[in-house]
């Protein structure tokens, strides 16, 4: 198969959670362990940093990878989902895995995938670990897909476990209280492996403390530390907490790697060019100013909307789309009423119908029109906005993916 045919097969035959939702979710590590054994247990040949959390996983993973890259190490980076191309998920020192490696890996293991009915995510985790082992990376930074305890990535024993924060997202899988969700995320804590927690609440801190104690793991709460606020290539207000998490993690990792102050500074500053991370308070146009951001749950959107409120503009426009399992009652009240909304549906199976979104938004006094596509909504917003106005594109990773 060609590269495109390979991707089509992966996406169509073995559904991916990002596209299909609940039908693609597996609450079990059996298949991942089976695949790992089939591949010769590549994860046992690697050093890992494991990153979980409700928001900020991608940014935190990318910053850690960038710092270690600047320190001279060969760094694998596994993140999800991708925005444009599947290969964004698997990188070494910012370079995406080759199309040839993806094609060959699927071709070599296709019958195994079919017999064992592996999910898209299970296959992709196996691909990443196999690639990193064959390329002999010094360390791999691995972002959890969803949750932690039962996530396919959770067959690894890392040098450090990182949990960025806990908020409400994917509650149908992870639970509907902060304590229960924290318990799922804390599932990545391993015996005698230090853990760094970015942000905590009165509900989640005891969960982390109990799990760390049970595992004999040292625990560090990054938000409690007073640290210098280094400049960073990622500009969203929420990066303040992510940076503290990164600084604490790098400090723990100094037992294993040599990281100078200069490497730390350069790693944070050059994170976008070093890792290719997109869609985090990313400006794509001036006059009017246009910002894209992948924040998609109440925890992330609160921070982003507060940041928008600090901007100077004459009129405010939102190009807004969501997926159909989003809890609209928790996110729509956060949006300002004195803005113009351009409602659209991201072009995936899980995209929520734009008319349905408009009707729900009107309940919260958010007014706007419906458009046939994300690009049509954005082009119309650009057409009507003046040079001193502000346009925000978001609500879903998949809305941003169609623009950046």
Same domain, 182 and 54: yes
pLDDT value at residue 349: 85
Same domain, 163 and 250: yes
Question: Average pLDDT of 327-333?
Answer: 94
Given its phi and psi angles, is residue 98 left (phi above 0), alpha (psi -120 to 50 degrees) or beta? beta
Last residue in a domain, options 275, 293, 321: 275
pLDDT value at residue 24: 45
Half-sphere exposure of 18 (CA within 13 A, CB side): 17
Q: What is the CATH number of the domain that holds 368?
A: 3.90.190.20
What would the pLDDT profile of 230-260 be if each residue is shown by its tens digit?
A: 999 999 888 999 999 999 999 999 999 999 9
Same domain, 266 and 290: no
Last residue in a domain, options 255, 275, 295: 275
Same domain, 269 and 289: no
What would the pLDDT profile of 163-193 be if each residue is shown by its tens digit?
A: 999 876 555 556 568 888 899 999 999 999 9
* Rounded distance between C-alpha atoms, residue 38 and residue 35, angstroms: 5
Same domain, 325 and 247: no
Report the percent of the chain where pLDDT is more than 70: 94
DSSP symbols for 73-97: --EEEE-S--SS-GGGGEEETTEEP
* Rounded distance between C-alpha atoms, residue 324 and residue 321, angstroms: 10
Per the structure, how many domains does the chain have? Answer: 2
Same domain, 223 and 91: yes
What would the pLDDT profile of 70-114 be if each residue is shown by its tens digit?
A: 999 999 999 998 999 999 999 999 999 999 999 999 999 999 999
What would the pLDDT profile of 262-295 be if each residue is shown by its tens digit?
A: 999 999 999 999 999 999 999 999 999 999 999 9
What would the pLDDT profile of 370-381 be if each residue is shown by its tens digit?
A: 999 999 999 999
Same domain, 266 and 304: no
Same domain, 150 and 231: yes
Tokens of 242: 């992510």
Last residue in a domain, options 259, 275, 291: 275
* Rounded distance between C-alpha atoms, residue 223 and residue 199, angstroms: 6
Tokens of 365: 């006094």
- Domain hosting 130: range is 3-275
- The SS3 call for residue 139 is strand
Count of helices and strands (H, E) across the chain: 17, 14
Neighbours of 245 (CB within 10 A): 29
Q: What is the CATH number of the domain that holds 238?
A: 3.40.1190.10
């Amino acid at each position: 198969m060609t590269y495109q045919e390979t991707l089509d097969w992966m996406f169509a035959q073995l559904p991916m959670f990002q596209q299909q939702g609940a039908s693609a979710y597996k609450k079990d590590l059996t298949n991942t362990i089976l695949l790992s054994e089939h591949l010769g247990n590549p994860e046992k040949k690697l050093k890992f940093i494991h990153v979980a959390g409700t928001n900020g996983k991608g940014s935190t993973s990318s910053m850690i990878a960038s710092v270690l890259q600047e320190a001279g190490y060969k760094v694998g980076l596994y993140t999800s989902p991708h925005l444009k191309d599947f290969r964004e998920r698997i990188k070494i020192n910012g370079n995406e895995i080759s199309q040839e490696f993806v094609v060959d890996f699927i071709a070599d293991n296709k019958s195994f995938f079919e017999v064992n009915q592996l999910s898209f995510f299970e296959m992709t985790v196996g691909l990443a670990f196999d690639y990193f082992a064959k390329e002999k990376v010094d360390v791999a930074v691995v972002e959890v897909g969803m949750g932690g305890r039962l996530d396919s990535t959770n067959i690894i024993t890392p040098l450090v476990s990182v949990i960025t924060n806990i908020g409400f997202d994917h509650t149908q899988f992870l639970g509907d209280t902060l304590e229960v969700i924290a318990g799922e995320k804390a599932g990545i804590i391993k015996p005698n492996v230090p853990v760094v927690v970015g942000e905590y609440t009165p509900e989640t801190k005891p969960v982390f403390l109990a799990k760390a104690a049970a595992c004999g793991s040292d625990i560090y709460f990054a938000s409690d530390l007073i640290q210098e606020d280094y400049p960073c290539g990622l500009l969203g207000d929420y990066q303040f907490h992510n940076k503290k998490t990164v600084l604490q993690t790098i400090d723990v990792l100094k037992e294993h790697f040599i990281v100078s102050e200069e490497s730390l500074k350069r790693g944070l500053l050059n994170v976008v060019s070093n890792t290719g991370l997109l869609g985090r308070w990313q400006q794509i146009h001036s006059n009017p100013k246009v910002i894209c951001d992948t924040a998609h749950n109440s925890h992330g959107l609160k921070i982003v909307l507060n940041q928008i409120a600090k901007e100077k503009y004459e009129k405010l426009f939102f190009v807004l789309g969501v997926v159909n399992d989003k809890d609209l009652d928790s996110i729509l009240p956060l949006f300002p009423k004195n803005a113009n909304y351009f409602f659209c549906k991201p072009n995936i199976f899980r995209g929520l119908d734009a008319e349905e979104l408009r009707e729900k938004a009107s309940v919260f006094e958010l007014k706007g029109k419906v458009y046939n596509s994300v690009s049509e909504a954005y082009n119309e917003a650009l057409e009507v906005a003046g040079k001193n106005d502000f346009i925000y594109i978001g609500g879903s990773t998949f809305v941003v993916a169609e623009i950046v």
